[in-house]
Structure 1
Amino acid sequence: MKILKHLLLTLLTASLCIFLSPSFAINPPQQTPAQILYQAGKYAEAIDILKQTLATFNRQGNKLNAAMTLSNLSLAYQQLGQWQEAETAITQSLDLLAKLSTPESSQILAQALDIQGRLQLSQGNPEAALNNWQGAAKIYQQLKDEESLIRNQINQAQAMQNLGLYLQADKTLIAVAASLNKLPDSPVKAAGLLNLGNIRRLVGNFQQSEQILTDALQVAERIKSAQIISDIRLSQGNTYRNQRDNQINLENKEIKNSIKSFTEKAITSYQQAINPSATPTTRINAQLNLISLLIDEKDWQQVAQLLPQIKSQLAELPVSRTSVYAKINFAQSLIKYGDHEPSTFPSAIEILQQAIKEAQNLKDKRGESYALGTLGVTYQKTGNLTQAKKLTQQALSIAQSINAPDITYQWLWHLGNYIKSENRETAMKLYEKSWEILQSLRTDLIAMNQSTQFSFRENIEPVYRDFVDLLLQEKNSQADNLNRARQVIESLQVAEIDNFLRTSCLRPITPIDKLADDEPATAIIYPIILGDRVETIVKLSQEKIKYYTTNISKIQVEETISQLRGNLAIDNRKYEVKELSEQIYDWLIRPAKAELETNQIKTLVFVLDGALRNIPMSILYDREQQKYLIQNYAIALAPSLQLVEPKPLKKVKLNALIGGVSEEIKVAGKTFMSLPNVKNEIAEIRSELAQNQELYNASFTKTNLETKVKSDPFSVVHLATHGQFSSNSEETYILTWDKLLKVNELDNLLRTRDNTKPESIELLVLSACKTAKGDKQAALGLAGVAVKSGARSTLASLWVADDPSAKKIMREFYKQLKTGVSKAEALRRAQLSVFAELESSPFQWAPYVLVGNWL
């Protein structure tokens, strides 16, 4: 069973923010006791009354009202995570409605289909959800119910996002915005824009979210709706907070200023949302989000001032699901604050005990499990491991009993951490179960845990790394553990890319071990960065895998890589590059050197971890031989242990689409300097590849590129233009003449051929790109483009070298490809041709990396 998604079905709820519960999707003319209880978050009590109401309607033979009641009953069950009961109720509702044919029943049918779609999306079936929502949309159109249609289209866009239909989702949301803009100013319009802005935020389109929420605020201010204004301010704060968090990995001065700006805007927005006109839910959410941000900022003075305000606000909340999760959220902040001020731990314990009692009274098992598990974390922080284990076990039992994998995996992981020092075997089993659940939830990680504070870095990545750490400490069944460790670290890399792109992205692919076994001169190298060491696993053709340990802290590893990366991007830093890169050579290659030589290895394929992805492996330096790695081996990178089905390029006709921008232009507020040699680069590639088409400067637009890709089965797409890879998907782009192609747009553009041309693009070349300055995880952008483009291989630069050397390397690369060598070997020869002339400057020859199929 998949985890609960976070889409609301009604347009007039405050927002998609933390702790808000959806109102009844089907509202009677006057509020009923069940509806009042539902809106207060008292779902179990609402269900009891709905059951009584349903029995009355059944006795009366009132099928329409019975169907309406069943639909709302399904919605209430969904709120408690009781999926089977929710499915039974909505199925019975639709069966009744199938026997009716009136305008009233049509309206109820459309809303029931909306509810069923919500359930299906919650269960990980976005295709069925989309079909139901599209069916409901036709009814709304016939009934000319514009408000419900807008709400429905927002839901459709979420399902489309989950299915990877980004172009369709984008067009749908654009249509929603157009429909809303045509409406006169009203609460419906303001709330519609609010929900649209929230959707844009949740899928990672932060700039669009910011703009739409600004539009929503202007409407709300014109109609003088103080409550909606507060709701919008809360959502604006969340968007600014997301933008801030998304840039934390960036270290240069300009980005630090940007982080400060987003932080200040988020704080101001939260403060503005806390006003008497706001609903109690909005006020408490704004306060909770504010104190969480202030703790992250280590603004202890403001934290101390806000703490008593939140305690007072919590005490005034009526007992409801909202109050339960608010208390859990507050306790999580107190636990973080406790690292600075340990005296807050008793308060956290007291508040969580209250949350547990309230959840039990409400029969909210999810809330009870969250509160118990969080209480266990609190006791662990205070050193009471016995109580921590007991509470976590209780939380785990409840989570398993209600089939809630999104919280089950967390308690398994925490329990493993608590017992690993005393029972490694049991801890290993707990870690493995936790990891397996995360694998089953992979497509849902981006939507996980919207109701509590949640971070990929804090709540997901450590599960993988703790499991790998224990696997590689274990000496029994070493081969099995090594294979499992590779699988786990690969699944982390896939999850990182999913989280970066806000969607699941892998396609049917082939294990690279199979390729290595078929290519005896190939070795696959998997470095894994752990807290106190680097573990390097090496897979040779038809050989058992081996591994080597280097005892060095993660901090030291990342500092060395950061220094090397900084020197690589500057010309004439040969000495510094050699000094730093030989350290990394000693970690990754030297322990395996004898094996590589004995097996006559010619190609190294790296599956890199963490910061290692930000540097080219070609520059690793062997001080004994006084050679860079590229002088001995062809080199490629793989984003995971599997690739798009491989195919040697020598068996493919080279037919290229070549695009580029050479002139200085300003696009999307950014000025891009001229690339004077692009024209020559394009001309020389065209001379090497007889079959080609060109898009240059003004003709190199998104529309023209899309048209060309759709119309012709190009095996090579070569783009000689500015581009950037970043850990922020909105800052990962390729420059065309008229716009910045964001990573998901590039993906959509290249995948349009899936419907018209069966051939995959064999090679995507991005010859003038760079990684964002100071971004510790910028290579996520490159991995995202490589994986999502669907191309078998991607050749890209990690920084922009001088045009003359870029032109020479590209020309030589295609010249070598025509001789029939592998892509990796062609790149090696091309780089060495420049290396021979410019050995003193790795800046010139080293930026290029080949990702994906190396054949």
Structure 2
Amino acid sequence: MARKWFSFLRSVHSLKRTTGLHLIRHSLVVFLLGLFLAVGVTPVFSQVSVTTQITQSVVNAEQLVNVAQEAYEVGQYNDAIQSLNGAIEVFRMGGETSHQSLAITLTNLGNVQLALGQPEMALVTWEESRKIFNELQDQSGVIRSQVYQTRALRDLGLNLRACEVFGEAVLDINGLKCEYLAREKPRSQIIAALRNEPSPVSAIGLHTLGDILRAVGELDASYDVLSSALDNLKAGDITYSLQAEANIRLSLANTLRAKGNLERDRQASPVYDYVPWGYVKSEGFSASDNCGDIDDLSCYAAATREYQNAIGVIETTSQNLTLPSSILKLQIKLNLLRFYIEQGNTFDAINLWEKSLKTIEIERLPSNRTTIYASINLAKSLAYLKELESKDSANHDLPSWKVIEATLEKAFDDAQNLSYEDNLAQSYALGNLAGLYEYCGSREEEQTCNLTLSYNSLIQKSKELTQTALVLAQPDENPDIAYQWQWQLGRLEEAQNNSKVAIDYYSNAIETLESVRSNLLVVNSDVQFSFRDNIEPLYRGGVNLLLQPGKYQDLEKARRLIDNLQLAELENFLQCNWQSNERIPLDQLVEADNSSAVIYPILLENRLDVIVKTPHSIALYSHEDVNKNEVENTVGELRQLLVKRRPSLKRLHKLSNKLYAWLIRDAEKNNAWDPGKTKTLIFVLDGPFRDIPMSTLYDIDSESYLIEKYAVSLSVGLELPVLNQKSQLKALVTGQSQDTGFSGFNALGGVDAELGIIKNVLQGSDNVDYLEITSQSLNRDSLFDAAAASNYDIIHLATHGKFSSDPEDTFIIPAPGQKIFLSELDDLFQSNPQNVVQLLVLSACQTATGDKRAILGLSGVTIQSGVRSSVGTLWSVDDIATAVFMKLFYENIGKSSGIAEALQQAQISFLRGGEEGYENYRRYRDSRFWAPYMIVGNWQKVIEF
């Protein structure tokens, strides 16, 4: 009599990328609900039908599948593969009558191959099963095979291709991108389509998509899809697997944790001396009260709840867990342990270690990549706990450093002794052992680790092990691992004062990282990846080496690294992509203009470097007596004074002069540019310098602000969009004066006056065609319709809005209760790809408070909308003052030689208010009125009115 097998394998998330192995691959064991599919029964979801006349060979094949199941449950994956291959041979000989059984058994084989860390082989196997299901016109089988293929693609780091395959499988549309699948409408279509599949298939598909969306940074969409996966699993008409529920809850926790990490990184200062095995605590991080729209708790609190829920579910499954269940339980607890440690929650971390993890003997589990990575993960968590323990002067009877060292050595031995060759596991184990030696070697004077080797021996041994790890994980095959070993070698060479060699390794690491950045926006937080820890320090370390005083210096290469860092920053936080509009190198614009200079302030831990690039030269000015704390404190106090009503000018000038001395004075004294010819300074700003307008830098010697000497513009990167000068322009001007209905965004009573003033200026020119949408008529639809109806060169929006490094917190408010978010701006401003907006003015927007990277929001608006230049403000400005300022600005656009100069002249009129010729602007002399305006993008001329 035929019997039904319940599904017994679930996804066991990868332990492959614990801290220090952070890119792209979700990796390792990804077993889903219903992976082993039964032979010999009428299919409910996963079973193979057999005719009444069962031949002996088919019975033998069915027995082989049974043996494979039993082997899998005790971790004997090679035996499982051998049995499945035997069954496959039988079904191949059975001809067309056995095709259904063959396709199902191939599906099972692919899942075991994935468990062994062989995603390439699994991909090929599932492609064969897909073809057979397609021939059998079994659409559910085709979908299942393609969904499994997306998991293999994800493990290979090919997240973008995984999205395409998923779109083909579920929506039957080719070439879909991840950002499209993350949108609400396609997401809803996917969820609805998968509801028509059996519950396990639906849960598998949504779980897979949720993990992929997290891997590419679509965190809100990931949470929504994973929640639907959990709902579909529970709504099935069969008894759903608690192990599958625990696994989905683990994914939900990881997504919430990734959102928390992003929130932390927005507030965090850069990490300058990152060492993978050195504990980095989040300083000064204040979590929000809720996790956006997805949870009433903070993201971290919600993540903690889901980790604990996952543990609770898996512990209710059975007292005698199967091996996959035991591994899943272990991984959840290891993830939670590291999560506690990241937050400095020593109490809960120690409690989890002592009551739960201390008694787990990982070495008694079967040796495979999963258990090897688990050992390494636990070793690093214990190392972090020991560092916390030493800082707290506590004693929790943690394993010694020598025990941690021995654990890593055994992990490498286990990787070498696997029954199949696993270079990746060997590389990971060796690289982490080398990382431990690097950490201990860098702290030898403190006698932190008390290992046998001396400082020099530890560093040298670490270098040798890392070199071997890199050979085992080549950059073209495993870039996510290789870049970290290249970076590690760079740090080690630097520690031995081999600067040129170190620079080469840093350069190689950055090149390797950038080769996979299209697949990487935000990497899954179950490996504690973050921009703060794992991308930014690499670039800053490389820049530091390139600019070291008294050593080899390469200013051009340093500029490129800072440029690439800013691009990575925009991608990571705002998920911006450079538009395909025509762009021109910044240097080419500067050389052609011959009246501009570019300034790069680069803040390092114990040094401030300033690179100045002019049409004919490049120079470096270093301040070795300036550190990051002094800069952050100076900028922070100055920012407060700039927005204050009637600030102390003496104090403001003193602080602002300090910045002038750091960024400008040395260049002026050394004639870096010709003061008679140079009219515009373009800043590529770094770190805290982005919090203040460069126009407010004050020269105490000449008693003048920088804006009184030069026009000022901000650039994002070494390429800028080209301004297309035209003889005739079209302008769209609109604004919203009504109450927005959103807290903190009150009615703008001066908007109607502002629109009227701009109308008078623009309509007074024969070169401008003008369209106005009144405040009463403005809403989302009218703005989108107007933008699509004609090709505008200038768009002026006098509406509330906000700039932030969070794309969900970067928006404009066209009408009460409505928002247009960053992700929608390309649709708004690029409805006609043949036309590009030359100038976008956002006169009533402001940057988010408490967000150290908030100015990225305006840069993101410029990039995402595809406009040539954007004008915005760093803080909210009085709307009556804005109306007067905009009148001056637009009048000056027609007279000046560039947009930046037009802005400069308007600012000068305000700051000199009350003086001769500027009597009408007396009330606007305070910096809070004139200072916040800034231009991002191309600073050149648009048109003469």
Match of 2:620 among 547, 557, 567: 547
Structure 1 residue 679 corresponds to structure 2 residue 737:
no
Cα distance in structure 2, aligned partners of 1:183 and 1:421? 59
Residue deviations 1:1-46 (CA, integer Å, cap 9, x gap):
xxxxxxxxx9995587866614499764346655777798876666
Structure 1 residue 245 corresponds to structure 2 residue 245:
no
Q: Which amino acid aligns with 1:842?
A: S
Residues 522, 572 of structure 2: 8 Å contact kept: no
* Cα displacement (A) at 1:187: 6.4
Map of 2:303 onto structure 1? 266
Residues 80, 365 of structure 1: 8 Å contact kept: no
Cα distance in structure 1, aligned partners of 2:142 and 2:248? 31
SS in 2 for 1:672: coil
Cα distance in structure 1, aligned partners of 2:367 and 2:784? 55
Cα distance in structure 2, aligned partners of 1:165 and 1:208? 11
Match of 2:482 among 408, 422, 428: 408
Q: Which amino acid aligns with 1:831?
A: Q
Residues 653, 715 of structure 1: 8 Å contact kept: no
Residues 654, 689 of structure 1: 8 Å contact kept: no
Q: Which amino acid aligns with 1:833?
A: S
Map of 2:38 onto structure 1? 29
Structure 1 residue 103 corresponds to structure 2 residue 137:
yes
Q: Between Structure 1 and Structure 2, which shows a larger proportion of helix residues?
A: 1
Deviating more after overlay: 626-635 vs 346-355: 346-355
Map of 1:339 onto structure 2? 387
Residues 9, 33 of structure 2: 8 Å contact kept: no
* Cα displacement (A) at 1:77: 6.0
Map of 1:310 onto structure 2? 357
Residues 201, 209 of structure 1: 8 Å contact kept: yes
Map of 1:560 onto structure 2? 634
Map of 2:439 onto structure 1? 381
Map of 2:897 onto structure 1? 821
Cα distance in structure 1, aligned partners of 2:516 and 2:381? 26
Q: Normalised by the size of structure 2, how large is the TM-score?
A: 0.77
Cα distance in structure 2, aligned partners of 1:17 and 1:684? 61
Cα distance in structure 1, aligned partners of 2:132 and 2:557? 51
Deviating more after overlay: 82-91 vs 458-467: 82-91
Match of 1:701 among 755, 779, 785: 779
Map of 2:911 onto structure 1? 835
SS in 1 for 2:474: helix
Residues 874, 933 of structure 2: 8 Å contact kept: yes
Residues 881, 929 of structure 2: 8 Å contact kept: yes
Cα distance in structure 2, aligned partners of 1:735 and 1:799? 16
Structure 1 residue 443 corresponds to structure 2 residue 518:
yes
* Cα displacement (A) at 1:707: 2.5
Residues 655, 689 of structure 1: 8 Å contact kept: no
Tell me how many residue pairs correspond in the alignment.
813
Residues 185, 222 of structure 1: 8 Å contact kept: no
Residues 71, 79 of structure 2: 8 Å contact kept: yes
Match of 1:741 among 820, 824, 838: 820
Cα distance in structure 1, aligned partners of 2:747 and 2:353? 54
Residues 464, 488 of structure 1: 8 Å contact kept: yes
Map of 1:293 onto structure 2? 339
Q: Structure 2: any 5+ residue segments left out of the alignment?
A: 1-6, 16-27, 40-64, 269-283, 292-296, 318-324, 391-397, 442-457, 764-768, 914-921, 941-945
Cα distance in structure 2, aligned partners of 1:34 and 1:652? 76
Residue deviations 1:789-848 (CA, integer Å, cap 9, x gap):
211111111101111221122222222223363111111112222222257411100111
Structure 1 residue 845 corresponds to structure 2 residue 930:
yes
Q: Which amino acid aligns with 1:238?
A: N
Distance 1:636 1:264, change over 3 A: same
Residue deviations 1:186-231 (CA, integer Å, cap 9, x gap):
6676777666665665555555666666676677778896545544
Cα distance in structure 1, aligned partners of 2:747 and 2:590? 42
Deviating more after overlay: 588-597 vs 15-24: 15-24
Residues 737, 752 of structure 2: 8 Å contact kept: yes
Map of 2:707 onto structure 1? 630
Q: Which amino acid aligns with 1:456?
A: F
Deviating more after overlay: 444-453 vs 553-562: 444-453
Match of 1:491 among 564, 570, 576: 564
Distance 1:242 1:169, change over 3 A: same
Map of 1:145 onto structure 2? none
Match of 1:810 among 875, 880, 886: 886
Cα distance in structure 2, aligned partners of 1:476 and 1:387? 26
Deviating more after overlay: 441-450 vs 39-48: 39-48
Residues 369, 415 of structure 2: 8 Å contact kept: yes
Match of 2:465 among 391, 394, 410: 391
Residue deviations 1:511-566 (CA, integer Å, cap 9, x gap):
1011111110011111111111111111111x131111012112221222222222
Deviating more after overlay: 815-824 vs 110-119: 110-119
Q: Which amino acid aligns with 1:172?
A: P
Cα distance in structure 1, aligned partners of 2:777 and 2:381? 53
Distance 1:201 1:131, change over 3 A: closer
Residue deviations 1:640-685 (CA, integer Å, cap 9, x gap):
11122x125x426332223322222324xx4521111112112222
Distance 1:253 1:419, change over 3 A: closer
Distance 1:463 1:806, change over 3 A: same
Deviating more after overlay: 433-442 vs 313-322: 313-322
Match of 1:425 among 497, 500, 508: 500
Map of 2:693 onto structure 1? 616
Alignment of 1:113-192 (within 5 A): 113-114=146-147, 132-137=165-170, 160-161=177-178, 165=180, 169-178=183-192
Cα distance in structure 2, aligned partners of 1:288 and 1:533? 38
Map of 2:51 onto structure 1? none
Map of 1:785 onto structure 2? 861
Cα distance in structure 2, aligned partners of 1:615 and 1:44? 61
Distance 1:796 1:32, change over 3 A: farther
* Cα displacement (A) at 1:575: 3.6
Identity %, equivalent residues: 34
* Cα displacement (A) at 1:695: 3.7
Residues 238, 266 of structure 1: 8 Å contact kept: yes
Cα distance in structure 2, aligned partners of 1:186 and 1:113? 17
Map of 2:596 onto structure 1? 522
Residues 714, 935 of structure 2: 8 Å contact kept: yes
Residues 50, 69 of structure 1: 8 Å contact kept: yes
Deviating more after overlay: 426-435 vs 831-840: 831-840
Residues 761, 790 of structure 1: 8 Å contact kept: yes
Cα distance in structure 2, aligned partners of 1:90 and 1:254? 46
Q: Which amino acid aligns with 1:700?
A: L
Deviating more after overlay: 680-689 vs 26-35: 26-35
Q: Which amino acid aligns with 1:603?
A: T
Residue deviations 1:730-777 (CA, integer Å, cap 9, x gap):
2222223232322222244334x2xx4411111222111112112212
Distance 1:683 1:111, change over 3 A: same
Distance 1:244 1:484, change over 3 A: same
Cα distance in structure 2, aligned partners of 1:473 and 1:739? 50
Distance 1:355 1:745, change over 3 A: farther
Residues 205, 730 of structure 1: 8 Å contact kept: no
* Cα displacement (A) at 1:75: 6.6
Residues 191, 228 of structure 1: 8 Å contact kept: no
Q: Normalised by the size of structure 1, how large is the TM-score?
A: 0.85
SS in 2 for 1:722: strand
Distance 1:496 1:254, change over 3 A: closer
Residues 724, 734 of structure 1: 8 Å contact kept: yes
Bigger-Rg structure (1/2):
2
